[in-house]
Amino acid sequence: MKQFMEKLETLLEIGGEKKDILFLVISGTALFASILKPVSLPFDPTWIAILLCGIPIILEAAIGLITAFDIKADVLVSLALIASVCIGEQFAAGEVAFIMQLGGLLEDLTVAKAKAGIEKLACLTPQTARVISFAGRKDHEKESEDKETIIPSEEVWASDILRVLPGETIPVDGIITAGETSVNQAVMTGESLPIDKKPGDEVSSGTVNQFGVFEMQATKAGKDSSIQRMIRLVQSADAGKAKIVGIADRWATWIVVIALMSALLTWLFTGEIIRAVTILVVFCPCSLVLATPTAIMAAIGNGTKHGFLVREGDALERLAMVKTIAFDKTGTLTYGTPAVAAVKSVDDAYTDDLLYAYAASAEQYSEHPLGKAVTRCFQEKGTLELFPAEQFHMLPGRGITAKIKEQTFLAGNEELLTGHRISITEDVRKETLKYTEKGCTIIYMADHVHLIGYIVLSDTIRRESLQMICDLKSLNVTPVLLTGDQENAAAAIAGQLNIQEVHASCLPEDKLTWIRAYQKQNSPVCMIGDGINDAPALKTADVGIAMGCVGSDIAVDAADIALIDDEVKELPHLLALSHRMMTTIRFNLSFSMALNFIAIILAITGILDPIVGALVHNAGSIFVIINSALLLTWRQKAFAATYSVEL
């Protein structure tokens, strides 16, 4: 007995889905044993299914009724189970309990909760800060300005003077007081390119200092810093997203009342209790319970084959109601990495190819993303080899200098040229203005005397983005661009992709504001992004879709769906699939209700007994499962073609 109790205790400790699956396997085996009777047993094996599958249903229904007078589908199921057992129809009771628990398990598998990602977001906050001057605090009044004091970042006060080294994350918000650098602000704005910073410029906590050493005065520290505000945005976002209630539970009160009245009236008029019990059995909403989760499971399987990991079970139901799809730009509609878009020589002594070779050679030791992009793109072209470069110098916030073939070359921004008294002609300014208006970045190339040309870099639009936007419009949804990039860059991308609604220079809270604005207009919105700065919007949107490969873990954790392979061309298929799934669910529900009412009429007339009634309406459940399974291979023909749009 002691050993039995220990095994039972171990069994009960098996958590969640594993325990449910084990109970279903045991119950299904018991039901088959009851039918086939392979061996002689001292009891009916059906009781195993009743105990393992039926008792939890009855307990849950009783708790809901007693604590909150919550009438759900399990109330009717409990009545049918108890009535079947009372008249000796144990097999019907075990069969119904098994089917209901199977449907419940499928539903649980489709509504797995997604992680909030708060822990990972919190880890972005630097743990320490290098303080070189304290803001008049007695506990640090003996510290010298020439000495760095490393303290926990949460102990930094506004007006403290901090030093930030290359590669370090900026601990608090502040203003640069000395030094020049470039800062990677992707964590806050999603911008693909670093921003040059000089004294007087603002910097935000959580962003990364690329290379230069600088000093800054803290302006917002602790809970007021940018990264902490973002954490609060994600925490306050509506993680629940108004979960869709199962149709069987939504109609449960009416189903229970109709079933009880039908059973009672049949018993009163016919005097046959077995007919009343049969009504309760056939009225059990097994197929109704299975109608939604089986379709969702099949649609999730279909989505997986097309590169989508659905992390929230009802996300596809919500996606079917979406009227607006908001896109982040960098890493979503574009590849998120700078690439050379044009090379132009303005000196007859240099061809475009030769200028490109000198620029790539000069930048080959650069740590700046733009310099790396020039060298990478040149090497990918593969027409010329890099020249050896000597006396390489990095000038933070301006560019680089290097000596190639005994000649000094400069590559950088206009400030670099001005510092070396090299002018830019009006013709060149007009040429480059056309690029900068489109959000491109210009690297000027000069020798030690004059300007010899320039290189244009830009973020590259994904080849499939234009066709994808067109297909989404054909599904009657409105694409919107929400980006941290400047207005010119955002407008240029939107123009190429035929997106009319554009909101540029968006910080995380701005994206959140726009998402909520669309929701207030009764326009359910789907947000698609890849960066940490997109996490609050992904969490708040009716449906959040994160780019799984290029996206941050925090963005993926905040989203309902992750695009595993970053193939945005499949987004129209996912949206069309959600519509098809809802059509399948509605058909399943209509069929289930019609079958139930036909079975009730047959039960009232005495044609069906409890066992046959259970088999008939369980056959309906099988039909629902088969119909839902067709979603596994569904594909809308309009989107079957290969996408190969050249931008």
Residues taking part in catalysis: 328
C-alpha dihedral (346, 348, 350, 352), degrees to nearest 10: 60
- Look at residue 429 and give its three-state secondary structure: helix
Q: Are 571 and 475 in contact (CB under 8 A)?
A: no
Phi-psi region of 81 (alpha: psi -120 to 50; beta: other; left: phi over 0): alpha
Q: How far apart are CA 60 and CA 55, in angstroms?
A: 9
Q: How far apart are CA 91 and CA 277, in angstroms?
A: 13
Whose structure tokens read 């040309």? 453
The two three-digit tokens of residue 609, written as one number = 């007994």
Q: How far apart are CA 502 and CA 515, in angstroms?
A: 13
Q: Euclidean distance between the first and final Cα of the chain, in Å? A: 75
Q: How far apart are CA 556 and CA 152, in angstroms?
A: 29
Name the helix (H) or strand (E) containing 215.
strand 214-220
At what angle are helices 73-86 and 252-270 packed, to 10 degrees? 30
Whose structure tokens read 């009416």? 254
Q: Angle at Cα 534 formed by Cα 441 and Cα 478, nearest 5°? A: 85
Three-class HEC string of 228-283: HHHHHHHHHCCCCCCCCCCHHHHCHHHHHHHHHHHHHHHHHHHCCHHHHHHHHHHC
Q: How far apart are CA 455 and CA 544, in angstroms?
A: 37
Name the helix (H) or strand (E) containing 516.
helix 508-520
Q: What's the burial of 454, exposed, middle or buried (CB within 10 Å: 0-12/13-18/19+)?
A: buried
For residue 205, which of 107, 303, 121 has the smallest C-alpha distance?
121
Instruction: Tell me the helix, strand and coil percentages in the chain, rounded to 5.
Output: 50, 20, 30
Beta-carbon count within 10 A of 181 CB: 22
